[in-house]
Amino acid sequence: MSSTSGNAARSEQIWLDGKLIKWDEGQVHVMTHALHYGLGVFEGIRAYRTHDGRLAVFRLREHIERLFDSAHICMMKLPYTVEQLMEACLELLRKQKDQFANGAYLRPIAFMGDGAMGLGAINPTRVAVTAWDWGAYLGDKGIREGIRAKVSSFTRMHVNVNMVRGKISGQYVNSILAKREAVLAGYDEAILLDISGFVAEASGENIFLVNKKGIIKTPPLSSPILDGITRDTVLKILRDSGRSVDEVTVTRDALYIANEVFFTGTAAEITPVREVDNRTVGAGKPGPITQYVQETYFRTVRGQEPRYIEWLTYV
């Protein structure tokens, strides 16, 4: 899996609390409240090289608006406007866009800073934006051929435990444990069920399936899932093509006997699933609907689909 370590390209600067500073100066104190208790919110946003060589951020406004929603859920007041944080993302890329030949992954994050400690503390909110070159999250081969997934022994947290509309830092421990369990068992990704045993989502992706009748299904937003922006993009692409999508609860064995299964997410993009719990999905390779979604998605983010051009913010 790709990471920011090694020789991966990263921005020479980061945006921290309203100004650009050198990457190595982007530090916080060890007594930062969020480090101890996990009170922070974040986004993952991709910028792509478009077909004409420009750099464009995909669905920037929607991501930043969700960041504000996440902060509101956590009762964190952000000291900036949506427009200011959108501009922060763009400013960071403008300063070094030539180094991101393959595009960039942006990480806006807001977190409770240092000051008082304890669960009742209320410290100033700090905000940062970083960028790096992050390839296919589940691997280029996974994008092409599909990945192996395992239903996790960890459960996606109940809606009274997990604020499911927020991308909240501390909540991702649940996903980390599920992901590690799957990888240590020899799989690529974990699938988490809800407390009733229905499919929720993967450790960091939403999930779609196509059954033997050709019906496309995805868990509904009444399930404990993130309201994924890539999920929304795929719903739009599929419905605009004349296909219907049922947003309904599904069981794990529905994945076993599906013709196609695929994950969606900003990091994972559109990743086919060729196997779940040692059961081959369909023909064991990306199916026609998955391929259609992949092709349309990548054309869209590269500026080759005029009907979706409003989703791109050019740097």
pLDDT, one tens digit per residue, over 227-261 is 999 999 999 999 999 999 999 999 999 999 999 99
Report CA 214 to chain centroid distance, whole Å. Answer: 26
Mean pLDDT estimate for the chain: 94
This prediction has a pTM of: 0.94
> Is the model's pLDDT at 25 over the cut of 50?
yes
pLDDT at 12 over 60: yes
Angle between helices 229-240 and 288-301 (to 10 degrees): 110
Condensed to tens digits (0 to 9), the pLDDT of residues 64-117 reads: 999 999 999 999 999 999 999 999 999 999 988 778 888 999 999 999 999 999
Q: What is the pLDDT of residues 75-86, one digit of tens each?
A: 999 999 999 999
Q: Is 167 a catalytic residue?
A: yes
Written as six digits, the tokens of 72 are 């509101």
Is 3.30.470.10 the CATH number for 13-132?
yes
Instruction: Measure the CA–CA gap between 192 and 99, rounded to whole angstroms.
Output: 37
Neighbours of 315 (CB within 10 A): 18
Six token digits for residue 79: 């000291």
Domain 140-301 listed as CATH 3.20.10.10? yes
Reported confidence tier of residue 8, pLDDT bands at 50, 70, 90: low
What's the pLDDT score for residue 96?
81
Per-domain residue ranges for the chain?
13-132, 140-301
Question: Which of 19, 95, 97, 167 does the annotation list as catalytic?
Answer: 167
Instruction: Provide the pLDDT for residue 235.
Output: 98
What single-letter DSSP state applies at residue 53? S
Residue 85, CA atoms < 13 Å, CB-side half-sphere: 28
pLDDT of residue 139: 79
Decide: 250 and 199 in contact? Cβ < 8 Å.
yes
Residue 99: Cβ within 10 Å count: 14
